[in-house]
Structures are given as C-alpha cells and as structure tokens.
Amino acid sequence: MKLLIAPAKKMRVEEDFLPPKTQPALWERSAELLQVLQELSLPELRKVLACSDRLAQEAAENFQRMDLLQGSTPALLAYDGIQYKYMAPGLFTQPQWDYVEEHLRILSGFYGVLRPMDGVRPYRLEMQARLQTPYGRTLYEFWGETLGDTLLQEDQVLVNLASEEYAKAVRPAVQGRARFVRCVFAEEVAPGTLVEKGVYVKMARGEMVRFAAENALQRPEDLCRFDRLGYVFSPERSQGDVYVFCRSHRPGSRKL
C-alpha cells in the first residue's frame, strides 16, 4: 500500500535534523523542466507561477542556482503546509520513519514522485501550472503516464490523500492496473448534506498519514479505523474504494 499526498507551496531548508538518503527517482525529467524554467524571463515565470513579483523573483533565484543532485532537505521535512504540520514528521519515531519511507509518496509538479527521504531543494511549481515544454502546454502533458508507471513499479494498491490537482496526474495511468482508493473528509452540515472545506481536509490528510504510521497500517481497510479531528468512517456513505469520513456539525460550532 502506498499513500499519496500533495506537496505544499511553502518550503523550508532543514539541514540539521536528518540528511537525505536518496535522490529523486525522476531527477532527469526534473532537469528537463529546470532548463525550461531557467530560460523564462521574470514576467514569463510570474505568469506560469501565478504569483507576486516577489515570489517570482525568489523562485527564479532558486531555479537558477539549483543543483538537482545536491538536495539538502529530505522531502517530507521540506514542505511546510497545513497537512505537514498535522502530520508532524519531525516527531516521528524511527519505526514511523521506516513506515513512511516504505508506504508514503509525495506527488510533485517539479520532481514527479518523491520518497520521504529524497533530497530536494526549494522550488515553486504547482501541477496545474501551464508551462510550454516539448511535450505540451501543461505539466500533465509533460509527465504523461510517468508518475503512474513509477508508482506501479512499487505497488498495486494506491491510497489517494492528495488534492484532485495532483490525483489526476496519476489516476488515468493506473485505472484498470491498480487499486486506487480515495479518502473523502466531510462534515454533515445538515441531514444528508456533506461539505468538504480545504483547510480541514488538509488537516485530516496529515492526521491520516500520522495515524497510519503510528499503527503501521498495511491495508486500505485498516484506514477505516481513523477517528481523529472528530472524523469517523461512514460505511453508509462510502462506496467501493471511495472511503468517506464524516463528522457532525453542531449548531454554534465552526463549520468545515
């Protein structure tokens, strides 16, 4: 079983905690992207990244000085978003690190597929970015079936904890070739009405990874025991490989 998660926009350099063990498996493809990105003007890069001038300048500097084979931070420690804060990999025990190294993969617009201990450098490039390459105008065209094929070389059971932006970079390539389980985190705001809200979904995804690592879960069915942040598995709302986790919205409480 492989748990799939998305990256975070915000990244950090962490050189004093754990050194990387491995290089990204698809670094040669990343090198192709890097060459394209390095050749963009600042206004062109800003348009691709859909960000402010300051962030575009920072991203340009990172790309210009990047050495893909000298990643300084393990991927799982490099991302600093909500999901990663609730996962709290910095607090993992050694057995939990061993677990995520085997069972967790990070999907990335720039690196493709990352293992937790792959060394990475800060970058900014979302999977939905429109970037002209020899393969097409989007990163979905650039990566094609590469991400799915890479994952299938390791496992035939994939659990999607990533956003749709990243899941659709994998799903077409694995449909019919692997089991693809989707976890949905929702709140019942009224009888029969479920709502997903981004920030709480990210929190739940991070907690789900931590739950799996703490309990060394081996099968998707084991994830149904998840009961954190008020979520519980809802068998009546789940169907096949779509696992729905719900929590009730109490009057006067903050909605998801």
Residue 256 has pLDDT above 60, yes or no: no
Please give the mean pLDDT across all residues of the chain. 94
- pLDDT value of position 11: 96
Residue 26 has pLDDT above 50, yes or no: yes
162-185 pLDDT, tens digit each: 999 999 999 999 999 999 999 999
Residue 250 has pLDDT above 60, yes or no: no
Of the candidate ranges 15-19, 129-133, 142-146, the one whose mean pLDDT is the lowest: 15-19
What value does the mean pLDDT take over residues 127-133? Answer: 97
**% of residues, the chain, pLDDT over 90:** 88
Long-range pairs for 28-32 at CB < 8 Å and ≥24 separation?
A: 29/112, 29/142, 29/143, 29/146, 30/68, 30/110, 30/111, 30/112, 31/68, 32/133, 32/142
173-223 pLDDT, tens digit each: 999 999 999 999 999 877 778 889 889 999 999 999 999 999 999 999 999
Within a 13 Å sphere around the CA of 45, how many CA atoms are in the beta-carbon half? 26
Pairing of strands 157-160, 179-190: parallel
Residue 60 has pLDDT above 80, yes or no: yes
Partners of 147 in the beta sheet? none
- pLDDT value of position 17: 79
- pLDDT value of position 254: 43
- pLDDT value of position 190: 78
- pLDDT value of position 249: 59
Cβ neighbours, 10 Å, residue 28: 9
- pLDDT value of position 10: 95
For 241, which DSSP code?
T
C-alpha 13/C-alpha 1 separation (Å) is 29
147-157 pLDDT, tens digit each: 999 999 999 99
Q: Enumerate residues 6+ apart whose C-beta is below 8 A from 218.
A: 1
C-alpha 152/C-alpha 154 separation (Å) is 5
